[in-house]
Amino acid sequence: MIRKEFLHVWRDPRTLYLAIGMPAVLTLLFGYAITMDIVHIPFGVLDQDHTAQSRELVSHFGQTRYFTLVAATQDEQEMGRLLERGKTKLFLVIPPGYAKKLARGQASPVQVLVDGSDSNQGVVALGYARAIAQAATRDLFLEGAKRAGLAGLEQRMPPLEPRMVALFNPELKSQVFVVPGLIAVIMMMMGTMLTALTVSREWERGTMEQLLVTPARPLEIVLGKTAPYFALGLLEMVSVILVGMVFFQVPFRGSHLLVLGFSSLFLLTALGVGLLISITARNQQLATQLSFLVSMLPSMILSGFMFPVASMPRIIQAITVVVPAKYFITALRGILLKGNGLPDLWVEGLALLLFAAIITFLCARRFRTRLG
Amino acid sequence: MEAVRAENLSKRFGSFWAVRGITFAVQEGEIFGFLGPNGAGKSTTIRMLCGILAPSGGKGLVAGYDVGREPEKVKSALGYMSQKFSLYDDLTVEENIEFYSGIYRLSPKVQAERTAWVLAMAGLAGREKSLPRELSGGWKQRLALGCAILHEPRILFLDEPTAGVDPVSRRRFWDLIATLSEQGTTVFVTTHYMDEAEHCHRLALINQGELVALGSPRELKHSLSPEATLEDVFVSLTRDQAIPNPKSKI
């Protein structure tokens, strides 16, 4: 019995692939992409002090691998924009008189603004910021004290807590952060997997062959097969948002129409991928495996759903460029939590449009009412 | 008038020739049988003639249309019943008929007429709301046939229509075929069953992708011997597929 089973496993390439290939892929993916270390957080600084000390503070932040300085501005509005658009996840605001107060041994407040829409990152970023700011300010303070000839001041050091404000999601609730990602994952599942399954089921049963012999045109068949799943996908989006709003206080600060627009584009892509899979995999088993590998896995791990993209190794980051879910989740978070409009999200919009167009084109070319 | 014509029809899958140089013609109203062992190329040939598989070589004409160049016109002119009966298991009898009526764009009046006709023909009047999986082989078969001829096509392609169906239902099915033929429909059918082959006007025997015999049942039998049965003819022509005698020295 055992020998026979070994023979079965050896002869079936699919089983081999599952047993060896999948674990390897998963390990690599999970090892590199899923990182609990949040690093390379993009941050900006609004330095109103313009002293050597304030610049020192900034460089303390920038020199660690946790933060990367990407913007410096004097304009509060621009700071708001940068945070809203997600170009910076954290902003350091150094008020005028920072260095002077330090020199006099007084409490010298510094403000840290954190983008709370990404609550995982937000919490961690705040933690880092607090630690770095404390250490930096303490060093600067001591230096200043030494220069002023004041000794023994360690005991009398004023509290160095920077003032922290988490924007957009003040309580840094993880549900708020998770809900947009969840919508994307469910949509991918519904759109891709179910579409792939339904078409390959028809192949298995023989009804697809029957359909091909009828005068039904390819477009009719495709529309017929995918329309219900499109409707279901939109319905799912609405219900998840409603549940999120009612039970988890997820805000809806942006335009409903925009959400609908982005969702439709993403859904179109998901359905198209499902269709392509079903054209390749003419039986349900293969269709399921392929859907999971190609759509669910990247959408969950590489899209920024749970794990921030900026913290992943460069190679993996490059791969995330072709994960549609990434753009959708960014857009959804932006619209729901930050009230982003189209000008803020034009990159995401363009990307999703491009994906939808390419997938539709591929489907049109490959779905023919002929077998060979 | 020729309903179907194959000229040197061939199909290649990679380096394997599934069908090679098949030539024959079927007259209108004929019941034309396509016989052959498993894997001989029967289904491949039918698929080419139905316009769902592009030929690798040769030409096929159905109702005057070229299967390679005008597959859509071919599809509108014919009815097809596949081996697997192609009924939707989770749709009722009624809904299946309704679906196919829609595909062939029947007007509501015609749809109503044809639905009634199919139900009567299949003996399913009163069972419109049943699901196909609740029906036994014979009923499903007749329902599938009904769905294939809703649009009253002039040419009908049947791929192993009686596979797995009891003898009584088979007989009933062939009576239906005979009636259709008398009304002028051309019926092109593949089968394994020798006794059914007797019902055909003419037969083509396929083996390993090639046409090995063509003629009426009587002609084919007589070509072998006066007492030969079709089964003898079949076996003699597909001899190389027979199981080798373990005792003979090869």
Residue B130 to residues A70, B103, B133, B143, B144: CA-CA distances in angstroms?
68, 21, 8, 12, 14
Q: Which of A206, A214, A372 sits opposite B75 (nearest CB)?
A: A214
* B176-217: pLDDT as tens digits: 999 999 999 999 999 877 788 888 999 998 888 899 889 998
Question: pLDDT value at position B155?
Answer: 94
What percentage of chain B exceeds 70 in pLDDT? 95
Q: Which segment of A151-155, A282-286, B138-142, B199-203 scores lowest on mean pLDDT?
A: A151-155
The answer to whether the CB of A93 falls within 8 A of the CB of A112 is: yes
The answer to whether the CB of A304 falls within 8 A of the CB of A330 is: yes
Decide if A207 and B54 are in contact by the 8 Å CB cutoff: no
Indicate left, alpha or beta for A101 from its phi (over 0: left) and psi (-120 to 50: alpha).
alpha
Decide if A215 and B75 are in contact by the 8 Å CB cutoff: yes
* A311-333: pLDDT as tens digits: 777 788 888 888 888 899 888 88
Interface probe, candidates A197, A198, A201, A214, chain B, greatest B C-beta count within 10 A: A214
CB distance from B132 to chain A under 8 Å?
no
The answer to whether the CB of A59 falls within 8 A of the CB of A47 is: no
| Tokens 């998840």 found at | A240
Interface probe, candidates A210, A212, A220, chain B, greatest B C-beta count within 10 A: A210
Question: pLDDT value at position B156?
Answer: 94
Residue in chain B closest to A372 (alpha carbons) equals B53
Q: Which of B54, B86, B105 sits opposite A209 (nearest CB)?
A: B86
Comparison of pLDDT for A284 and A214, the residue scoring more: A214
Decide if B76 and A207 are in contact by the 8 Å CB cutoff: no
Q: List CB contacts of B24: < 8 A, sequence separation 6 or more.
A: B5, B6, B204, B211, B214
Comparison of pLDDT for A190 and A237, the residue scoring more: A237
Q: Which segment of A32-36, A364-368, B15-19, B145-149 scores lowest on mean pLDDT?
A: A32-36
The answer to whether the CB of A166 falls within 8 A of the CB of A258 is: no
pLDDT at B43 over 70: yes
* Nearest chain B CA: its distance from A218 CA (Å): 11
H/E segment holding residue A237 = helix A218-248
For range A189-207, the mean pLDDT = 83
How far is CA A5 from its chain centroid? 43
Dig out the tokens for A302 from the structure: 């590489």
Compute chain A's Rg from CA coordinates: 26
CB distance from A216 to chain B under 8 Å?
yes
Question: pLDDT value at position B244?
Answer: 47
For range A179-189, the mean pLDDT = 83
Question: Phi, psi (5° rounding) for residue A63?
Answer: -80, -20
Q: Which of B52, B78, B105 sits opposite A212 (nearest CB)?
A: B52
pLDDT at B126 over 70: yes
The β-bridge relationship of strands B202-207 and B31-35 is parallel
E runs forming strands in chain A? 41-47, 67-72, 90-94, 111-115, 163-167
Average pLDDT across chain A, whole number: 80
Q: Which of B47, B89, B105 sits opposite A371 (nearest CB)?
A: B47
* B85-120: pLDDT as tens digits: 788 888 899 999 999 999 898 999 999 999 999 999
* A138-171: pLDDT as tens digits: 777 777 667 666 555 555 555 556 666 667 666 6
DSSP state of B17: E
